[in-house]
Amino acid sequence: MERVTSTQRTPLAAGPARIDPALVDPATVPSSDLVGLLAAVCDIPSVSGAETALADAIEAVLRAQPHLEVVRDGDALVARTHLGRARRVVVAGHIDTVPLTTDPPNLPTRLEGTGPDAVLWGRGTVDMKGGVTVMLALAVELGRPGREPAADLTWVFYDHEEVEAARNGLGRVARNHPELLAGDFAILGEPSEAGIEGGCNGTLRVDVRTTGVAAHSARAWTGVNAIHAAAPVLARLAAYEPRAVEVDGLVYREGMNAVGIVGGIAGNVIPDACTVSVNYRFAPSRSVEEAEAHVRELFDGFDVVVTDAAGGARPGLDDPLAAEFAAAVLATTGGVPRPKYGWTDVARFAELGIPAVNFGPGDPLLAHKDDERLPVGQLAACRDALRAWLLGPS
């Protein structure tokens, strides 16, 4: 990537995507250019399904580190230290983003302001290339002579998180190489404003289908309008009151919302089919099976088809390592643990029996927003807190 020092950054030049090694050179620690590295990572577009260029660039950095064993599975990368420590910490983050916008474009990134108060704008700055940047910088630094961590480390950079769970790259690694994810504690670099967000809600997506009889719209009385038949579905959603559920001391807010509706084939045809897509975000105290039963009860009398489901994860802050990390973050950034409302792969680690928390730079309320942006001071805050805990007492 061409380095740009003004507040505007140019798009990547044609040719193989790469990351300037100087941006992650451990010789520059602690003044490594985290902002430049984040811009470089973001300016290599990696919408879900098109992560190869960024995976190639990250792989090149990781394979240049003699202290790391690197394994690639598709566009997922696992880099591990082998220092013989008594415990192993897994730090993971996804490298894909939701689609880009074009009007206005949210890539290439642009930097506004100077110093720690500057803000980097662009797709992925929050979700979650800020966390990926912190991971990449520390993966290079920790394990070098004089910077060995107190625990062995596993760094996981994976693909396809922003799409259906079946395509998730971390899930694929868990199926293909479960031994690579073994550990005593895991940290997801998901945006949490430099504080810990414990656990996560589960997510369930269903299609609620109605049927009718097609007819010419000039003779509507000879048909049955399937879109009109979906009105009760929307009415039930509008009247639905989501719960707030306390789980292990954190309060999770649920949600039930229509996220899409499809029906009709032409402007002069009474539609004979309509589908309302519904997303239910449920507290981690409820299983996927219980969530599905709840949705089917709400839409009793309609055809309900589950299209995607992933269970949540309890906070797990009572685990000794999680409590130790939470105390370290509180002392470093002042961040008090909060619930994670969105689904993250802490749930996948929970399924593997590994306690996990979310910790990364960025406001989660800006995730997937067209005006995604990151106060760059949070990059150093997260790096410093995570580094201090991983190095252990001096």
How is 153-212 classified by DSSP, letter by letter?
EEEEEES--SS-GGG-HHHHHHHH-GGGG--SEEEE----TTSEEESB-EEEEEEEEEE-
User: Does residue 5 register a pLDDT over 70?
Assistant: no
User: Does residue 100 register a pLDDT over 70?
Assistant: yes
Q: What distance in Å separates the CA atoms of residue 354 and residue 349, rounded to the nearest whole number?
A: 5
User: Does residue 90 register a pLDDT over 60?
Assistant: yes
Q: What is the pLDDT of residues 237-259, one digit of tens each?
A: 999 999 999 998 999 999 999 99
Angle formed at CA 239 by CA 233 and CA 240, multiple of 5 degrees: 90
Q: What distance in Å separates the CA atoms of residue 236 and residue 245, rounded to the nearest whole number?
A: 21
Longest Cα–Cα distance of the chain, Å, equals 82
Q: How far is CA 46 from CA 52, 120, 388, in A?
A: 8, 18, 30
User: Does residue 4 register a pLDDT over 50?
Assistant: no
Q: Which residues are catalytic?
A: 96, 161
Q: What distance in Å separates the CA atoms of residue 306 and residue 210, rounded to the nearest whole number?
A: 15
Span 88-112, average pLDDT: 95
Q: How far is CA 386 from the centre of its chain?
A: 18
pLDDT at 27: 67
User: Does residue 6 register a pLDDT over 70?
Assistant: no
What beta strand segments (E) does 20-113 contain?
69-73, 76-80, 88-94, 110-112
Span 44-60, average pLDDT: 96
Q: Which of the four pLDDT bands, split at 50, 70 and 90, describes residue 332?
A: confident
Span 333-362, average pLDDT: 91
Express as a percent the part of the chain with pLDDT over 70.
94
Q: What distance in Å separates the CA atoms of residue 81 and residue 90, rounded to the nearest whole number?
A: 11
User: Does residue 8 register a pLDDT over 50?
Assistant: no
Other CB atoms within 10 Å distance of the CB of residue 236 = 16
Q: What is the pTM of this model?
A: 0.84
pLDDT at 9: 33
pLDDT at 118: 95
Span 143-149, average pLDDT: 89
Helix, strand, coil tally for the chain in percent (to 5) = 30, 25, 40
Q: Which domains does the chain have, with CATH numbers?
A: 21-199+313-391 (3.40.630.10), 202-310 (3.30.70.360)
Distant-in-sequence, close-in-space partners of 134: CB < 8 Å, separation ≥ 6: 34, 189, 360, 361, 379, 382, 383, 386
Please state whether beta strands 244-247 and 185-188 pair in parallel, antiparallel, or not at all (unpaired): unpaired
Average pLDDT of the chain, as a whole number:
91
User: Does residue 268 register a pLDDT over 70?
Assistant: yes
Q: What distance in Å separates the CA atoms of residue 41 and residue 137, rounded to the nearest whole number?
A: 12
Task: Evaluate whether 19 touches 40 at the Cβ level (below 8 Å).
Answer: yes
pLDDT at 3: 25
